[in-house]
Homo-oligomer: A and B are copies of this chain.
Protein backbone atom coordinates (compact mmCIF):
# COMPACT_ATOMS: atom_id res chain seq x y z
CA UNK A 1 0.00 0.00 0.00
CA UNK A 2 1.26 3.43 -0.92
CA UNK A 3 -0.42 6.70 -0.07
CA UNK A 4 1.01 9.51 -2.16
CA UNK A 5 0.72 13.25 -1.69
CA UNK A 6 1.81 14.90 -4.90
CA UNK A 7 2.12 18.52 -5.84
CA UNK A 8 2.30 19.20 -9.52
CA UNK A 9 2.42 22.27 -11.67
CA UNK A 10 -0.76 22.16 -13.77
CA UNK A 11 -1.03 24.00 -17.06
CA UNK A 12 -4.87 23.97 -17.01
CA UNK A 13 -4.87 25.56 -13.58
CA UNK A 14 -1.59 27.46 -13.93
CA UNK A 15 -1.09 26.52 -10.35
CA UNK A 16 1.02 24.17 -8.26
CA UNK A 17 -1.79 21.91 -7.13
CA UNK A 18 -2.10 18.98 -4.75
CA UNK A 19 -3.40 15.55 -5.62
CA UNK A 20 -3.57 12.43 -3.45
CA UNK A 21 -3.06 8.99 -4.94
CA UNK A 22 -3.70 5.68 -3.24
CA UNK A 23 -1.92 2.71 -4.81
CA UNK A 24 -2.58 -0.69 -3.23
CA UNK A 25 0.15 -3.29 -3.19
CA UNK A 26 1.95 -5.08 -0.34
CA UNK A 27 -0.24 -4.44 2.66
CA UNK A 28 -0.50 -4.98 6.36
CA UNK A 29 -3.70 -6.79 5.42
CA UNK A 30 -1.74 -9.32 3.36
CA UNK A 31 0.85 -9.47 6.05
CA UNK A 32 -1.57 -10.11 8.91
CA UNK A 33 -3.37 -12.70 6.80
CA UNK A 34 -0.10 -14.56 6.27
CA UNK A 35 -0.44 -14.19 2.53
CA UNK A 36 2.54 -14.17 0.23
CA UNK A 37 2.08 -10.62 -0.88
CA UNK A 38 1.72 -9.61 -4.47
CA UNK A 39 4.13 -6.75 -4.21
CA UNK A 40 3.29 -4.40 -7.04
CA UNK A 41 2.33 -4.37 -10.71
CA UNK A 42 4.56 -6.46 -12.93
CA UNK A 43 5.62 -5.39 -16.37
CA UNK A 44 2.59 -4.14 -18.21
CA UNK A 45 0.01 -4.68 -15.50
CA UNK A 46 -2.00 -1.64 -14.57
CA UNK A 47 -4.40 -0.35 -11.97
CA UNK A 48 -8.05 0.39 -12.39
CA UNK A 49 -8.74 3.90 -11.13
CA UNK A 50 -11.47 5.57 -9.14
CA UNK A 51 -11.29 9.36 -9.53
CA UNK A 52 -12.93 11.04 -6.53
CA UNK A 53 -13.82 14.73 -6.40
CA UNK A 54 -14.28 16.62 -3.14
CA UNK A 55 -17.26 18.73 -2.19
CA UNK A 56 -17.64 22.41 -1.38
CA UNK A 57 -15.32 23.84 1.27
CA UNK A 58 -13.28 20.63 1.11
CA UNK A 59 -9.91 19.66 -0.29
CA UNK A 60 -8.18 16.71 -1.87
CA UNK A 61 -7.47 14.89 1.38
CA UNK A 62 -11.09 14.86 2.52
CA UNK A 63 -11.57 11.27 1.43
CA UNK A 64 -8.47 10.11 3.30
CA UNK A 65 -9.32 12.15 6.39
CA UNK A 66 -13.04 11.51 6.54
CA UNK A 67 -13.58 8.04 5.09
CA UNK A 68 -11.81 4.69 5.13
CA UNK A 69 -11.09 4.84 1.40
CA UNK A 70 -7.47 3.79 1.97
CA UNK A 71 -8.62 0.45 3.35
CA UNK A 72 -11.29 -0.06 0.71
CA UNK A 73 -8.82 0.66 -2.11
CA UNK A 74 -6.33 -1.74 -0.57
CA UNK A 75 -8.90 -4.49 -0.17
CA UNK A 76 -10.17 -4.16 -3.73
CA UNK A 77 -6.85 -3.41 -5.47
CA UNK A 78 -7.96 -0.24 -7.18
CA UNK A 79 -6.07 3.04 -7.38
CA UNK A 80 -7.86 6.10 -6.03
CA UNK A 81 -7.00 9.62 -7.20
CA UNK A 82 -8.34 12.71 -5.46
CA UNK A 83 -7.55 16.10 -7.05
CA UNK A 84 -8.09 19.43 -5.28
CA UNK A 85 -11.41 21.07 -6.17
CA UNK A 86 -10.94 24.66 -4.89
CA UNK A 87 -14.67 25.39 -4.61
CA UNK A 88 -14.64 25.89 -8.38
CA UNK A 89 -17.68 23.66 -9.08
CA UNK A 90 -15.45 21.77 -11.56
CA UNK A 91 -16.19 24.32 -14.28
CA UNK A 92 -13.80 25.76 -16.84
CA UNK A 93 -13.62 29.39 -15.78
CA UNK A 94 -12.61 32.14 -18.20
CA UNK A 95 -10.45 33.77 -17.13
CA UNK A 96 -9.42 31.34 -14.47
CA UNK A 97 -8.85 27.73 -13.70
CA UNK A 98 -9.99 25.15 -16.20
CA UNK A 99 -11.17 22.66 -13.59
CA UNK A 100 -13.16 20.37 -15.87
CA UNK A 101 -10.35 20.10 -18.38
CA UNK A 102 -7.86 19.52 -15.58
CA UNK A 103 -9.84 16.61 -14.13
CA UNK A 104 -10.92 15.11 -17.43
CA UNK A 105 -7.79 15.63 -19.54
CA UNK A 106 -4.65 16.98 -17.99
CA UNK A 107 -4.57 15.01 -14.77
CA UNK A 108 -5.28 11.63 -16.42
CA UNK A 109 -2.61 12.36 -19.03
CA UNK A 110 -0.02 13.37 -16.47
CA UNK A 111 -0.73 10.54 -14.06
CA UNK A 112 -0.86 7.87 -16.76
CA UNK A 113 2.54 9.04 -17.97
CA UNK A 114 3.93 8.57 -14.48
CA UNK A 115 1.96 5.76 -12.86
CA UNK A 116 0.72 2.40 -14.21
CA UNK A 117 -2.92 3.50 -14.48
CA UNK A 118 -5.08 1.88 -17.12
CA UNK A 119 -6.38 4.40 -19.69
CA UNK A 120 -9.15 2.08 -20.85
CA UNK A 121 -12.78 3.06 -20.43
CA UNK A 122 -13.76 -0.06 -18.54
CA UNK A 123 -11.04 0.59 -15.98
CA UNK A 124 -11.97 4.14 -15.03
CA UNK A 125 -14.66 5.32 -12.64
CA UNK A 126 -15.39 8.81 -11.44
CA UNK A 127 -17.31 9.90 -8.39
CA UNK A 128 -17.78 12.49 -5.72
CA UNK A 129 -19.95 13.81 -2.92
CA UNK A 130 -22.02 16.99 -3.03
CA UNK A 131 -20.26 19.55 -5.29
CA UNK A 132 -17.89 16.70 -6.17
CA UNK A 133 -20.80 14.54 -7.28
CA UNK A 134 -21.89 17.34 -9.55
CA UNK A 135 -18.29 17.60 -10.75
CA UNK A 136 -18.06 13.89 -11.48
CA UNK A 137 -21.20 13.99 -13.62
CA UNK A 138 -20.10 17.21 -15.31
CA UNK A 139 -16.73 15.74 -16.26
CA UNK A 140 -18.23 12.39 -17.23
CA UNK A 141 -20.66 13.78 -19.78
CA UNK A 142 -17.92 15.89 -21.37
CA UNK A 143 -15.53 12.91 -21.55
CA UNK A 144 -18.15 10.17 -21.81
CA UNK A 145 -16.01 7.47 -23.36
CA UNK A 146 -13.43 7.77 -20.64
CA UNK A 147 -15.41 6.34 -17.73
CA UNK A 148 -17.30 3.08 -17.22
CA UNK A 149 -19.40 4.45 -14.40
CA UNK A 150 -20.17 7.51 -12.32
CA UNK A 151 -20.71 7.40 -8.57
CA UNK A 152 -22.81 10.42 -7.65
CA UNK A 153 -23.25 10.79 -3.91
CA UNK A 154 -25.66 13.48 -2.74
CA UNK A 155 -26.02 15.52 -5.91
CA UNK A 156 -27.64 15.07 -9.29
CA UNK A 157 -26.47 17.10 -12.26
CA UNK A 158 -29.48 16.81 -14.54
CA UNK A 159 -31.87 18.32 -12.09
CA UNK A 160 -33.69 20.63 -14.49
CA UNK A 161 -36.67 22.38 -12.98
CA UNK A 162 -39.99 21.79 -14.64
CA UNK A 163 -41.10 24.70 -16.75
CA UNK A 164 -42.68 27.43 -14.74
CA UNK A 165 -41.19 26.35 -11.43
CA UNK A 166 -39.42 29.19 -9.71
CA UNK A 167 -35.63 29.08 -9.81
CA UNK A 168 -34.39 28.04 -6.44
CA UNK A 169 -31.40 30.24 -5.70
CA UNK A 170 -28.64 28.05 -4.36
CA UNK A 171 -27.60 29.94 -1.24
CA UNK A 172 -24.61 27.94 -0.20
CA UNK A 173 -22.77 30.94 1.10
CA UNK A 174 -19.72 29.42 -0.46
CA UNK A 175 -17.45 31.80 -2.30
CA UNK A 176 -17.50 29.63 -5.37
CA UNK A 177 -17.72 31.45 -8.63
CA UNK A 178 -21.49 31.69 -9.05
CA UNK A 179 -23.10 28.64 -10.58
CA UNK A 180 -23.79 29.07 -14.23
CA UNK A 181 -27.55 29.58 -14.36
CA UNK A 182 -28.02 26.89 -17.00
CA UNK A 183 -25.43 24.37 -15.95
CA UNK A 184 -28.02 21.62 -15.51
CA UNK A 185 -29.52 22.24 -18.92
CA UNK A 186 -26.08 22.24 -20.48
CA UNK A 187 -25.26 18.89 -18.85
CA UNK A 188 -28.48 17.46 -20.27
CA UNK A 189 -27.82 18.77 -23.79
CA UNK A 190 -24.27 17.48 -23.88
CA UNK A 191 -25.29 14.05 -22.69
CA UNK A 192 -28.21 13.84 -25.11
CA UNK A 193 -25.89 14.71 -27.98
CA UNK A 194 -23.42 12.03 -26.89
CA UNK A 195 -26.17 9.41 -26.78
CA UNK A 196 -27.49 10.51 -30.17
CA UNK A 197 -23.99 10.29 -31.62
CA UNK A 198 -23.83 6.69 -30.50
CA UNK A 199 -21.05 7.31 -28.00
CA UNK A 200 -20.60 4.98 -25.10
CA UNK A 201 -21.70 6.74 -21.94
CA UNK A 202 -21.06 5.66 -18.38
CA UNK A 203 -23.51 3.91 -16.10
CA UNK A 204 -24.79 6.13 -13.30
CA UNK A 205 -24.97 5.24 -9.62
CA UNK A 206 -26.86 7.97 -7.79
CA UNK A 207 -27.14 7.63 -4.04
CA UNK A 208 -28.50 10.08 -1.51
CA UNK A 209 -29.66 10.09 2.09
CA UNK A 210 -33.24 10.12 3.23
CA UNK A 211 -32.72 13.53 4.82
CA UNK A 212 -30.37 14.76 2.14
CA UNK A 213 -30.71 18.31 0.82
CA UNK A 214 -29.83 16.76 -2.54
CA UNK A 215 -32.60 14.16 -2.45
CA UNK A 216 -34.80 15.84 -4.99
CA UNK A 217 -32.00 16.56 -7.43
CA UNK A 218 -30.74 13.01 -7.26
CA UNK A 219 -34.19 11.52 -7.93
CA UNK A 220 -34.98 13.91 -10.73
CA UNK A 221 -31.59 13.36 -12.40
CA UNK A 222 -32.08 9.59 -12.28
CA UNK A 223 -35.41 10.00 -14.05
CA UNK A 224 -33.79 12.07 -16.79
CA UNK A 225 -31.01 9.52 -17.27
CA UNK A 226 -33.45 6.63 -17.42
CA UNK A 227 -35.56 8.39 -20.01
CA UNK A 228 -32.39 8.63 -22.08
CA UNK A 229 -32.14 4.86 -21.87
CA UNK A 230 -29.06 4.77 -19.66
CA UNK A 231 -28.23 2.29 -16.93
CA UNK A 232 -29.06 3.96 -13.64
CA UNK A 233 -28.82 2.70 -10.10
CA UNK A 234 -30.72 4.96 -7.72
CA UNK A 235 -30.73 4.44 -3.96
CA UNK A 236 -31.96 6.35 -0.97
CA UNK A 237 -30.22 5.43 2.26
CA UNK A 238 -32.57 5.73 5.23
CA UNK A 239 -31.73 7.71 8.34
CA UNK A 240 -28.87 9.80 7.01
CA UNK A 241 -28.48 13.14 5.31
CA UNK A 242 -25.83 15.09 3.45
CA UNK A 243 -22.90 13.74 5.47
CA UNK A 244 -19.96 11.37 5.78
CA UNK A 245 -22.07 8.87 7.67
CA UNK A 246 -23.65 8.33 4.27
CA UNK A 247 -20.61 8.70 2.04
CA UNK A 248 -18.13 6.46 3.90
CA UNK A 249 -20.38 3.36 3.87
CA UNK A 250 -21.37 4.06 0.26
CA UNK A 251 -17.69 4.14 -0.76
CA UNK A 252 -17.24 0.76 0.91
CA UNK A 253 -20.22 -0.70 -0.92
CA UNK A 254 -19.26 0.98 -4.18
CA UNK A 255 -16.00 -0.96 -4.23
CA UNK A 256 -17.29 -4.20 -2.74
CA UNK A 257 -20.53 -4.59 -4.66
CA UNK A 258 -21.85 -1.68 -6.71
CA UNK A 259 -19.21 -0.69 -9.26
CA UNK A 260 -18.17 -3.20 -11.93
CA UNK A 261 -14.53 -3.34 -10.85
CA UNK A 262 -12.06 -6.24 -11.20
CA UNK A 263 -10.92 -6.41 -7.57
CA UNK A 264 -7.45 -6.92 -8.99
CA UNK A 265 -4.84 -5.57 -11.37
CA UNK A 266 -5.52 -5.24 -15.08
CA UNK A 267 -3.40 -7.82 -16.95
CA UNK A 268 -0.88 -6.60 -19.49
- Interface residues, chain A, with chain B CB atoms under 8 Å away: 1-11, 13-18, 23, 25-28, 31-32, 37, 39-42, 56-59, 61-62, 64-68, 70-71, 86-87, 93, 95-98, 109-110, 113-116, 173-178, 242-244, 248
Contacts and interface: CB of A to CB of B under 8 A. Distances in A.
19 contacts: A2-B9, A4-B5, A9-B57, A11-B39, A13-B175, A14-B56, A14-B57, A14-B87, A14-B174, A15-B57, A16-B28, A17-B59, A25-B110, A32-B242, A39-B110, A41-B114, A95-B178, A96-B177, A97-B175
B11 A37 contact: yes
A248 B7 contact: no
A173 B114 CA distance: 27
B113 A177 contact: no
A9 B1 contact: yes
Nearest to A8: B2
A114 B25 CA distance: 11
Contact of A14 (B68, B114, B175): B175
Contacts of A26: 8-11
A6 B59 CA distance: 12
Contacts of A42: 113
A103 B210 CA distance: 40
A28 B131 CA distance: 13
For the complex of A and B, list the 8 residue pairs with the smallest distance between their C-beta atoms, beginning with the closest: A16-B59, A2-B8, A65-B70, A40-B113, A5-B5, A96-B175, A4-B6, A14-B175
A8 B40 CA distance: 11
Contacts of A242: 32
B58 A28 contact: yes
Contacts of A11: 26, 37, 39
B66 A68 contact: yes
A242 B65 CA distance: 22
Contact of A4 (B4, B95, B177): B4
B3 A65 contact: yes
Given A39-B113, A40-B110, A67-B68, 14 more contacts: A1-B9, A3-B6, A8-B26, A9-B28, A11-B39, A15-B57, A15-B175, A31-B57, A32-B242, A40-B109, A41-B113, A86-B86, A95-B177, A97-B175
